[in-house]
Every structure is written in C-alpha cells, then in structure tokens.
Amino acid sequence: MNDTSAWRSGSQPLLPINVKPQHTDGYNIYPYHSVGSGKIHKGYQSLAQWIAGQKNLVIDGFSGVLWQEVQRHLHDELERLGVKVNWIKMSDFLKPESTIQQLVAPFIGESDAVWGTKCSLSVHDFYDISGLRQPDNKTGITILIGPGAAISGWSAPLIYLELPKNELQFRMRAGSVTNFGNPAPENPSAMYKRFYFVDWVIFNGHKKNILDRITIVADVQWKDDLNWMLAKDLKAGLSELSQNVFRVRPWFEPGAWGGQWMKQHINGLNKNEINYAWSFELIIPENGLVFESDGNLLEVSFDFLMFTGHRAVLGKHADIFGYEFPIRFDFLDTWDGGNLSIQCHPSLAYIKEHFGENITQDETYYILDCQKQANVYLGFQEDIDAAKFRTELENSRDFGTEVEITRYVCSLPAKKHDLFLIPNGTVHSAGAGNLVLEISATPYIFTFKMYDWLRLDLNGKPRPINLEHAFNNLRFDRKGDRVVKELISHPQVIAEGSDWQLIHLPTHQEHFYDVHRIEFDSELTIETEDCCHVLMLVEGSTVSVNTANGMSVYFHYAETFVVPAAAKAYTLTNMGQSRAKVIKAFLKVNSDNDTRQSQQYKYDTSL
C-alpha cells in the first residue's frame, strides 16, 4: 500500500478508485450505486483531453482540496497534449489574512471554546475580485482555479472538485490542508471547529448556488489521481436514488472509550487500530454517496442529493426541514471498551441561541448487541441534589477526584433490542459492553460532558468538561420512577400477519421521529406514505429491498439504508434462515400534536 502519512492521517484505507464487481456476504464499508457504463472516467489524462477543447475554464471545489497538486497534474497532462495554459489562482484575490480573521472571529468564539456558531458569511466575503476579468484568449486556455472560483461570473465550463469530509479531516490531522483563507494549518481541534461552523457552511451554500452551472464533478480524495463524470449524468444517478433506496458510505473513528465489536464483525477495517468508538452510518453532514461505472468509483457529499431532490427524499416534510436531512444513525461501540462520558445535550432554544443550529440533539439508544452486565446510565436518582451533584463534578474537574456516579444517576441493565429515550436535557451515558445503534436527530457534536471517568483521550490529554452548558440544560425532573416510565420505550405490537409483526417502539414526546421494528419470516411490503424511512437490519443475515420504481438491492446485518418518500412502496424479503428484524425510523406525522411539534423545526430553505 502506498504511504499516505505525509498528507493523510487516518487508519481507514482510502476508498478504492476502481473496483471489480463482487458479491459481499456481510457488512460492506464501501457501498456504491451503479450508474451504467461510460459515465465515470478515470484519471487526469482523460480530464485533460476534455479540457483541451476549451478556451476558458473555471475549476471550483470544496474546502480541503490539494489545489497545487490538482493544478500540477492537469498542467503536466495538458502540456503533453501540446496545450498552453494560463493559470489564474483565486488565492491571489483573497482579502488580507487579518481581514479574514476578523470576519470569522464571531463564529468561532474564544480559542479554548469547544463550539462556535453557524456562519452567516458567503464565499464572496473572503475575496476582492474587482480586478478579476475574463480574458479574451487568442491561443491556449486560461483556467481560473480555486475554492469559490465560480463567483467570478466567467462564461465558461465549470469543473467542481469534490472531497469527502472524512478525507478532509484525515488531511487536517496530517497538516496538509488549511482552513479557508488561513495561510497555515492549526491544531486539529481548532481546525475542525472552523470547518464545522464556517468552511462547511459557506461551501455547502456555495455548492447549492452553483449547482446548475456545474459541467463536470471530479472526486479528488486521492492525491495523485481522480475520477470524474458529467454533471448531467451525476444528476440522473441522484434522481434515481431519490426515488428508490440508497446507502451512504460509512466511516469509522477510534475514541477514548472505544470498543472491539466493529473490529471483530466488520470486514475491511484496519484491525491494527486500538479500537473503534464510532461508525458514521448516516451522519449526513459528513457522509457521502458513492457511484460506480465500469468499476470506477466517484463519491459526492450527501448535500448533492438534498439540493437536487430534497422533496423526493423527505416528501411531506420537505417544507419543514428544507435541505437538511433530519435523522441520524451511528454506532457507539463500548464492547470490551469503556463508559461514555456522563453527558447531556442542549434544548432547542439553547442550541439555536448559542450555536445557530436548527435541530437539537434528541437521541435514543437502540441496543444492537451487548455483553452480560452491560448497562446504560439514564436519568437521575429520585433523591438527586443538583447543588451537591455540581459541587462534586467541579471538584472532580479541578482536583481529579473520582465521582460515584450511581449516587446521582440511574444505572439500567441493557438487553438486545432495548430502546432508551434521551430527549435533550437528559443526563445519560452508554456503559461498557454495548454496541449501541444511536438513532437521533441530525446534530452530533453538541455533547456537554460532566464526568469522563478521569481518563485521557487517545492523545494523552483530558477531554473538555462542560459543566456550565450542561447545568443550563439538565432536566432534574427526569428522575426516579419517571425514568422507567418515560425514558425506556415500551414496545407494542400494532399489526401482524401469519409470519410477521409490526412493533411500535414509542419515542419521547419531544422526539420528532418515531421507531418501528419490522419482524418477518418471508417478505413484507411497506408503503412510505410520502415519508422518508431510515432502516437497519438488526437481526438476521440479509434482506433484499425491491422498490415500486423497480430497484432491487441487498442489505446485510447492521447496514443502514434509506428509502425516500418518493419510492412510494418497497418490499422487504428475508434472505436468511431465521426471522429478520428491521428497525425503521421516520418522522412523526400521526397526530395534531406531532405536527405542531415538528413545525417548530421550520427551516430557512434558502441556504
């Protein structure tokens, strides 16, 4: 394997640039969607051949692209074709560094702050392009290259360079890229904060604004190679997915409390990694969709699908959530690992006021698998004394004293297929010995840690404790008997046939999504009722999904897949020997109360 350590820091291998079609018997870490022959083209040479026929060209792209490498490869290939190129760099039109720092400062807060606030700037704010004019070429090609290049307004074909966000983070950790407008890399935590609150917001909005002008989309996650396709072919592939079924590409991260379940059960992961704490199964701000043609793979961010087909995906909820996908699936692996921190999440009003988010972090823990004696920490003991609890946590933070958490927080036994409910403000933690499927609203970084078991992170440093934010949000009334009554889902069979059952796992009244478990021996047809379904096979080996629109796909145990509202109906077929169990999460729509509750998440769809 080629050494990537100089420009990429991460244990998960790069997405293969080309694959041979093969049948997988289990969880696939590189799922893709085929778009037919001749649609995805490989390499700088083929792209240069297309470019050679142009007079002027604009190359735009996402934050984190290795722009100099792209320019070097294209220049060399065009030179081999005898084409003279005049390069104009967008970086030459950036405003002074001091001006840019002043622009972004309100959105990243103090240097030691964990979170910032969602940015309201645009790409235009970072440049002074008053002197940027489209040339009138007599010979050769003039290429304008760099992030935001499309704001030039040139009348020219537009190539967009796409980069998956996991690869951006691997580059960030290696120090091979910088934040937008920064001359040099910073420490990874500071860079991630600025990416999340500034760069990603700006470039997602920019991507949407220029989407109809893009001629070619190129995937540049490989340092010395790329794959590309015409935008019209990409849009056709996205349209097909928006009306059928799809799976995003997951990615995996180690952590201080991480476990061994994923390492033991998921093929293709680096077995030398110390542990795996998270799997980003469907965390839409960071996952991508992979397309395939003639074995060539090309990945684009999930935003492309929402920008081109959010109404097909979300159906009756499109006007509520706009271009943001509202449901998240991820794994928390504490199998032979440790406890998560004792934590809580912000209220909706708090996350809007302090962080600029539109959805808050309302969660559930579905126990996909667990060891004996596994537990979940959830809710307070009946006799909780808030002041005493805070004092003990402050002493632990300041002096490293151990806290006997169960004096304050309930510890509940965990069993396979249990669903624990964690509306915002609820104290909670996944205990050691679990493989948790976290079904949640989309936000995923707003965790207010109160106690982290006096341990260090994988870099040997303490993780931040956020008592002020936590105590501004904790619900101390969720305690005692109310925990069992209100924070543990009590399943109910709501429909059944000769070889199937539909089981409702009710969520909390504050959750805007609900959960069903479909248990069946042979097959079952389900209507979407103009609502998006997020699903996972949680027991059994394999199911096939056949949509009313004609797509047929296989999914294996623990794989997450999405059926958009526009699919209308789909048939699940059990391909295994034992009963299949499929979890389905969907947005609540069944009562006036549910509708009113969802409406508080009304979005600005202008992004």
pLDDT of residue 606: 33
Tally of CB atoms within 10 A around 128? 12
Instruction: Write the CB contacts of 290 (distance below 8 Å, at least 6 apart in sequence).
Output: 15, 30, 31, 32, 33, 249, 297, 298, 299
Q: Which of 518, 559, 4 is nearest to 262 (CA)?
A: 559
CA–CA separation, 259 and 275 (whole Å):
5
Cα–Cα distances in angstroms (integers) from residue 590 to residues 254, 310, 587, in the given order: 39, 21, 9
DSSP β-ladder status, 288-293 and 33-34:
parallel
pLDDT of residue 590: 47
Whole-model pTM: value is 0.95
Cα–Cα distances in angstroms (integers) from residue 339 to residues 259, 277, 378, 412, 431, in the given order: 10, 11, 13, 13, 4
Write down all domains in the chain, each with its CATH number in brackets.
Answer: 35-242 (3.40.50), 492-599 (2.60.120.10)
Q: What is the mean pLDDT of each run of 10 residues along the chain (607 residues)?
A: 80 91 85 97 98 96 97 98 96 97 94 93 97 85 97 96 96 96 94 97 98 98 97 98 98 96 95 96 96 98 97 97 97 98 98 96 98 98 98 98 98 98 98 98 96 95 96 98 97 97 97 98 97 98 97 97 98 97 89 42 36
Cα–Cα distances in angstroms (integers) from residue 595 to residues 233, 422, 590, in the given order: 37, 20, 8
Look at the alpha carbons of 556, 562, 564, 568 in this order and tell me if their dihedral is positive or negative: positive
CA–CA separation, 558 and 28 (whole Å):
10
Cα–Cα distances in angstroms (integers) from residue 334 to residues 262, 422, 543, in the given order: 10, 18, 27
pLDDT of residue 589: 63
pLDDT of residue 138: 77
Q: In Å, how far from its chain's centre is CA 384?
A: 36
Q: Which of 497, 491, 538 is nearest to 515 (CA)?
A: 491
What are the structure tokens assigned to 135, written together? 């040339």
Placement of tokens 């699903």 in the chain: 535
The dihedral over CA atoms of 266, 299, 291, 235, expressed in degrees to the nearest 10, equals 140
pLDDT of residue 601: 43
CA–CA separation, 209 and 235 (whole Å):
15
pLDDT of residue 303: 96
Cα–Cα distances in angstroms (integers) from residue 254 to residues 65, 114, 272, 457, in the given order: 24, 19, 11, 10
**Rg (Cα) of the chain, in Å, rounded?**
25
Residue 134's Cβ-side half-sphere holds a number of Cα atoms within 13 Å equal to 13
